[in-house]
Structure 1
Amino acid sequence: MLTLLRNRCSPWPGIGARLAPEHAPMGRSTLTDLFHLSASVLLPLSRHLLQCIASAEVVLADETPLHVLDVKKTRLGYLWTFLAQNEKGEWLIGYRFSMGRASTTPKAVLGGTTGALVVDAYTGYNSVTLPEGRVRVGCWAHVRRRFFDALATAPEARQALDLILALYRVEAQAREADVVRTAAHRELRQQHSAPVLAQLRVWLDAQAPQHPPKGPLGGAISYALKQWDALSRFVSDERLPLDNNRSEGALRKAALGRKNFLFVGHEAAGENLAGLYALVATCEANHVNPEEYLADVLLRVQTHPQARIGELLPHEWKRLRAADSS
């Protein structure tokens, strides 16, 4: 029975097929029941994971649509991801499902917290950044994407792309020197990235009057100028990433899921999916085998002291297992 639970509680598609070699046929409804039961049992963990992320100084966030079954059609829901890195450098990845893209979800997860929030230009995050709250940090990958799209009709966009590339080269230099998120990283940015930003700003200001704001290049320039303060904050804070790519990466698994299961059956199913996604994604980010983790934690969580529930999160579970075996 433990083997069956282990194989069914993972949110990734193709679970039923993996049971065939074990000669354990299982109906779809039973698989679904086990999926929801596992999510329910693990709910204290997925909730605590989001709380840990919300308490971090730097949080990354993004969202993606997810279809929800309705009468004769589907409705559009959203899967949100929130990420943070703890003091040990371990990544915590949380998800939240909602039936809309309004600011309700960011506010529910991050409301009342302070620090930095790394996001794109979507205004739905304003509820936790304005007027008081987290400092908004922009994403250079989103900026670069717009200039790249404009390149086909406006070759002059190449200059902006070259300058953005220079910013990323400074980050590569920091990684090679193994000084990421240190004072030396900040010094590198102030010495090399700041002049690049100044050069790019001069170019943007000069090009803006020459291109209609609704055109490809004009739109890219406007997008960058409107976010300039948010895009420049990384220079003075070594903890801030240059982009929000890690959040987008965390949502790629959801995109793969969409291609397999197409939609979730109802809102509660989306919430359960988000909870299980969070635990499995955090396992993978910290080199923890998700099957071994879930098989063990599904049993532990039911008797584990609530005050120490954080010990069962994937990154802490590694240490708990090591202590048990010693």
Structure 2
Amino acid sequence: METDGISIKSWNLSNWIIKTSEEWLNPVVEKLREELLKDKYLHADETPVQVLNEGNKKNTTKSYMWVYSTSVNAKHGIRIFKYASGRAGDNAKESLKGFKGYLHTDGFSGYSKVKDIHHCLCWAHVRRYFSDALSKDMKSPEATLPSIGIAYCNQLFNWERKFKNLSPEDRKIKRLEKEKTVLEAFWSWVESTNEKVLPKSNIGKALQYALNHKDKLETYLEDGNCVIITRI
């Protein structure tokens, strides 16, 4: 690269960026992390990325961008992206060290490494499992088992839309009044249906996913500030 007659090597530019990040940006990110951990309601997710020429890894090997976000009602919205070469739950454990509130995530088991939290799981992922189980060539998909599962999820989402503008206290009361009955019917259907399908079928996997995470899928009922869909 050459500007005003001065030639600057690309590796020099890269080193300047790295040095600037280490000395000026990293402290800012760490301060943001401190503020983020003060929020009582957080969201987390990890997304696979591919990185070229990374250590001893093949270019086709997955690395991960971890994301941590404050809730939609936080006084100051903060979202932190942190790169890691792997998907080990220790990444979340280290980034969320000191957090004691409600953590919203998908069903990835790595988040179990984060201790002393209230773990809320995302109902959109439950519905996605049932959607993936829908037969593409069925003339009447509404009659299929996956459609029944989707309908239960949609009932919860519909109630959530109605409760959106309520105070957290009133939202908790309404959830227990309206959504608790939907959940009881859903779990009864899941348990009875799970005994009649092949475990390795798509519908079997959808039912088992829900059963495996039953407690964490109901954590949102504890606090009206919690949500049923991870917002990342």
Structure 1 contact 51–109 (Cα < 8 Å) conserved: no
Task: Report the CA distance between 1:145 and its aligned residue.
Answer: 0.2
> What amino acid maps onto 1:203 in structure 2?
W
Structure 1: give runs of 5+ residues left out of the alignment: 1-25, 248-326
**1:36 and 2:36 are equivalent in the alignment:** no
CA separation in 1, counterparts of 2:163 and 2:182?
A: 16
Instruction: Find the partner of 1:50 among 33, 58, 64.
Output: 33
Aligned-partner SS, 2:65: strand
Shift of 1:55: 2.7
CA separation of 1:89 and 1:72: change in aligned 2, threshold 3 A: closer
| 1:198 has 2:184 as partner | yes
> Quick one: structure 1 residues 72 and 96, their matched pair in 2 at CA, closer, same or farther if it must change by over 3 Å?
closer
Q: CA deviation at 1:34?
A: 5.5
Tell me the SS of whatever aligns to 2:151. helix
Q: SS state of the match for residue 200, structure 1?
A: helix
Cα distance, 1:173 vs structure 2: 0.8
Partner Cα distance (1:210, 1:68) in 2:
44
* Greater helix share, structure number: 1
Could you tell me which of 112, 119, 123 is aligned with 2:109? 123
Question: How far apart, CA to CA, are the structure 1 residues paired with 2:40 and 2:18?
Answer: 33
Q: Relative contact order (alpha carbons < 8 A, sep ≥ 6): 1 or 2 greater?
A: 1
CA deviation after TM superposition for structure 1 residue 214, in Å: 1.0
Q: Summarize the Cα distance change of 1:27–1:187 in structure 2 as closer, same or farther, 3 Å threshold.
A: farther
Q: Unpaired segments of 5 or more residues in structure 2?
A: 1-7
Identical amino acids, percent of aligned pairs: 26
Normalised by the length of structure 2, the TM-score is: 0.83
Instruction: List, as ranges, runs of 4+ consecutive aligned residues in structure 1 with deviation greater than 6 Å.
Output: none
Q: Taking structure 1 as reference, are residues 197 and 27 closer, same or farther at Cα in structure 2, changes over 3 Å only?
A: farther
C-alpha change, 1:152 and 1:79, in structure 2 (3 Å) is: same
TM-score normalised per structure 1 = 0.61
Distance in 2 between residues matched to 1:196 and 1:27, nearest whole Å: 64
Q: Distance in 1 between matches of 2:58 and 2:159?
A: 49
State the match for 1:217 in structure 2.
203
Q: 1:208: Cα distance to partner?
A: 0.4
The equivalent of 1:291 in structure 2 is: none
Q: Is the 8 A contact 1:143 1:224 kept in 2?
A: yes
